[in-house]
Structure 1
Amino acid sequence: MVSGYVSAKMKKRAPTMVTMLLLALPSLWVYSGFFIGGPANLISSAISADLGRQDLIKGNSEALSTVIGIVDGTGSVGASVGQIVVPLLHKQQHLDWQWVFYFFMLMTLMSTVCILPLLVREVRSMKCFRSYQLRRQDTQRTERLRMYSLNS
Structure 2
Amino acid sequence: MKASPLLLIASIITKTSAFAPAVAPKVFTRNMSTNAVPLANGAMSFDRVCREWRCKYTGDKATSESLEKIAALVEEYLPQIKSASKDATVNRLVCGACLDFKLMTTVPLDDFGPWEEKGFAPEAEFLEKLKAIDGVSQVETQTITNMVI
TM-score range (shorter-chain normalised) is under 0.3
Greater share of strand: 2
Greater share of helix: 1
User: Higher Cα Rg: structure 1 or 2?
Assistant: 1
Instruction: Please give the TM-score of this superposition, normalised by the length of structure 2.
Output: 0.27
